[in-house]
Each structure stands twice: as C-alpha cells, then as structure tokens.
Structure 1
C-alpha cells in the first residue's frame, strides 16, 4: 500500500521540491494551500489539492480527513500558534516535520549544533509579530513546541535549513549573483570574498524533510546545509563554471565600497560573521547533499529560463562602477 504525505504549502519553492521528492520516492501526495498560486502538479493524478488557510485549525483537520496522511511536512508554519495547532491535529501520524530555520539559533558559534547551540528566546509579542526581525524567535519557539509535543508521544521533528537556493527561488538572492556573472565582466564582491553564509540546495532540503519524517527521532532537530560550504567568492566561481562565464571577481573593502556610497550589507548573501551549521546528525540518518557543482548547474540552467534577475537586491551598477574606478587607481 502506498504511503500518503500531506505537504502544507507545496507550490512555490521548498514545498514544490518536497512534493517532487516525495513523488520520486513512491508517495501519493496531498497539498494544503490557499490555491493562490499556479499549481505545478495540476496534471499529476498522484497529487491532490486541498484548498485552505494553514492558519485555520478547521482547514488542517479537513486536510487530514481528506488525505489520511502517514506523514505531514509543514513548510509554512511561521508563528508558534501554527505549530501548536499542527502538532495537535496531526498527533497520531507516523511523522510530522516542522520546517524551522538556522535563524532559530541565538549564539554566534562555528558551527551551530543541534542540542548545544542556544536558541532564540520568544516573547508573547514576538510570537504574534510577522516582521523579519522576529523570524528567528518565532521559528525557535516552534522548535520548542515540537520538542514538548514529542515528550507527549507525538512523532514530531524539526528541520533547520540555512539559506536555501536552487530552481524556483522566489527570494532571488542567488539570482542577483547569477545575473551579475552572466551580465558583467567585472563583479564587485563585498569584503575579501571569504565571508561564509552556509547555504542549502533546495532538493537536499526536500530529501532531508522526507528522511526526517521516515527515520528521524521524535523531538530531534536536524540542521540541513551543503556538506561542502562555499565562501561568497567560491560561490561566484561555481556560478561562473556552471554558466561557462569568466568574469573578474573584484573584492572591495568597506573603504572602497564607500566610494560608491555602499556598505557590505548592501549585497545579498553577505554576512560579516560566519554562519555554519553542523549537518552530521542528518547525515547519520543516511541523508546526502548534492555536490555543489551539480546543484549550481541546475540552478543556473533554471535561472536562464526564468524571469528572475535579483534586481530587488541590486545596490546599483552605477555605484559599483564608482567602486571599480577606485579599485583601478589603487
């Protein structure tokens, strides 16, 4: 008998790849979402769609009755109340997986480890806020709810991705850098190019969610990120290799950037202090990550066919040209 997975979300990015991974591994899949976006699985008879708002307990219960899922993967729980309701509604499934975040960690440690690195606190006010500033707090509180549910017998786990990249990435953070590599002979990189913000290829996140549902320990959290972490400059090199391009990567100090009225934080995927997650616990379950050159080749290929260019992250090419002019005089 084929197992059924319910994916809360499922059409946009992580959810979309999760549905594909589940299908590839023999599951029938149901998706719960509001139906506001184009359904990439509309013609696949192995996928059913339950329309509803995941913040509604009634919608969750309707989806459960309709799908009768063996496992549930919750991609769009952004407030602690969402998680609390879900672990109650799905208390008797074989596996409930909450998509948390590497942002749930409070301490700047290298690497950040499950069960060791402290989590962000979460006040009552933060728990109901929806701003970017409280994202990590809310995700951390969701983790704690999962842990408490597991103590009460719920087969619930949390998966903490770092920055996710890959095909259909609506955030366009990596699209900015791909577009720069494809469009310009010289690409300005903030700092010395050696800053490290751990990233996770989206197909690997999807397989991690399935594996956590199948084999994860209730009450456990699992970090997910590329097993080979790349610096920003190495990331651009990987993009160039995948794209068949050969731009000059130009590191620019804070002083050099100031000539263009820019700061390092004006560039996407820059982080002054390294962010690196220990992924050994997930690997111990049999999870593997895609080699970065393969992941980047797929990402660049999809970027070429998409209309995304990361322009919302663009610090301004004219400003960069002023920086490049300063660099030439040094």
Structure 2
C-alpha cells in the first residue's frame, strides 16, 4: 500500500497517525471539516479535503479524489458512519475503524476480542449522542465491520482503552501531571491499586498502520500498554519525569466525603480493573513504547502546553479539606 486517507487527522490520534504514515512513506490525505488547526498545513506531503464525514456525498467525493489504498477512520462515532464508510471504500485494500475498549459488555480480566461479549445496542441507542451509549455505539460499529468483511470488504478495527500522550485535548492525564507538578501531596481515591488500562497514542498509530498492512478482514484488535501500572505507580512515573517525588495520600469514600468528593470524580479511576489482552495484535508484530519513554514525551508536551486538566477532577480546595481530616486521624 502506498496511499492513505485519514478521516480526521488533525487533533490527537489522527495527528499521530498521519505522522506514523509519513514515516512509513505513505502518500497521505486527510479528510475533515476543517474546524481545527491543521498541523500539516505547510507539509506538501499531506493533502487535505474538506468535508463532513456524515455526508455520504462528501465522503464519496473524497474517495474519488484521494483514491486511497488504505482508509483510517478516526471519527466514526455512530454505526451508520461505519456502514457508510465500508460501502464507499469497499474496493480499498484496507479500511480500519477506531473502536474502543468500552465496546466490551462484561467485566472480566483480561478482555479478549473473540471471547468477551460486546455491549448490546438498540436502534435508539445507535443514534444517541450521550456518553452513556458510547460503548454501545462502538460495539455496533464493530459488528458493522464483521458484516462488511462478510461481503468481501477488507475492513478491520482496533480497540484501544484510555489513550494518552502529546496533544491530548481530553486533558485526562494532564490532571494528574498538574497535580504532581504543583503539589507535594497528591490525593488519590482508594488504596492506589486501581488499574485502568491505558495506551500511548503513538502506539495506537502504529497499531492502525500494522493492522491495515497485516490484519485479517473482519478482525478486531485490542491495543494497550504491554506493561500495566496502577494509578499510584502512574503518579510515580510522572514524578520521575518531573524530577521530583510525590507523597501519595490514599483516601477512601468516607474521607473523600469531607470534601464533597466521590472516588468517581477522579479521572482514570475505575473501581473494577479494565484490562485488555493485546496478544492478538502482538502476533502481527506490534509492540508498545516503554512506559518511561512514553511518559517522558507526555510530560514534556504537558509542560509546553497550557493544559491543566482541572475539569477532570475535584477542586484542590476540596482536597485540602480531605487532607485536613486525614491529618487528624
């Protein structure tokens, strides 16, 4: 394959994917509405087609203009998006859809692509735009991938868990980097052993390319850091990259209540472990970036940005009330 069309391509995963494809000597075209700054605007190796991916005519026009060997769909949030794209790009050598670990419908450790059941999705849920149906819609998109493959389309998908790294506009990890950078004592919910699988964004990008080149039609591949760390260990990784130390303060629901805080108010906290098996993707030759290296790049980008992630967790004043209670125990 020599040419690629990236639906999306200017913000987070798509931005890193474009760089990954350029590094692999693809001719790259991005297709989006042009609502965000294009980091590749001055790069003559990257073409740009403006249009709305939910408009089938615009998507068909992009297909004709770019004539790509591979298509990477970074912004398919509804099953209809996937069904339309697999029809329009049916003759391409590969179509890869970004699904989500949220598509899994049962809690088990680890979650495996061909064993763990997916979320159900009703007709009404398939068009709902709330966060509550996100995993359901992604699961239905995965079923659309399987259906397209049954019709002879070389369609595949990747299921990442929480994605982190440079240019993450969700600012989820930025909340914790900011806490470690600014405060000597950092409150975390529970005993610190919470595990929510994460994946470095550049590894998602390499997974997408590898799946397009080596994956099998109809297959879905989990991705995630090959080495998992707890929430507390993640803070220690952050502290090491900031060349500081962190005094982690554990707080249970009763202590957090003193600040009007719930454990679920903290981003990247999950009561039951969320772990994805990555063996299937690894069999294609994929590897994840060492955590220290991934965190170093992530912290560096945070320090160069104006992101603080403060909307992703409790106010510090509320935490100070919790610390005050804990200091009296």
Q: TM class by shorter-chain length?
A: over 0.9
List structure 1 segments (4+ residues) > 3 angstroms apart after TM superposition. Answer: none
* Total equivalences in the alignment: 329
**TM-score normalised according to structure 2 size:** 0.99
Q: Deviations over 1:94-140 (max 9, x none)?
A: 11000000000000000000010000010000001010000000000
1:142 is paired with a residue of what secondary structure? helix
1:22 is paired with a residue of what secondary structure? helix
Unmatched runs of 5 consecutive residues or more in structure 1: none
Matched, 1:210 2:209: yes
* Alignment map for 1:313-324 (pairs within 5 Å): 313-324=312-323
- Give the Å deviation of 1:43: 1.0
Matches of 2:60 and 2:200, distance apart in 1: 32
Matches of 2:265 and 2:37, distance apart in 1: 32
Q: Deviations over 1:226-254 (max 9, x none)?
A: 00011100110000011112121111111
Tell me what 1:6 maps to.
Answer: 5
Tell me what 1:256 maps to.
Answer: 255
Tell me what 1:179 maps to.
Answer: 178
Tell me what 2:22 maps to.
Answer: 23
Tell me what 1:80 maps to.
Answer: 79
* Alignment map for 1:249-288 (pairs within 5 Å): 249-288=248-287
Matches of 1:179 and 1:47, distance apart in 2: 34
Tell me what 2:235 maps to.
Answer: 236
Matches of 2:57 and 2:14, distance apart in 1: 21
Matches of 1:246 and 1:47, distance apart in 2: 42
- Give the Å deviation of 1:260: 1.2
**Contact 2:235/2:246 (8 A) holds in 1:** no
CA RMSD of aligned residues (A): 0.7
- Give the Å deviation of 1:318: 1.0
- Give the Å deviation of 1:207: 0.4
Matches of 1:85 and 1:150, distance apart in 2: 14
Matched, 1:225 2:254: no
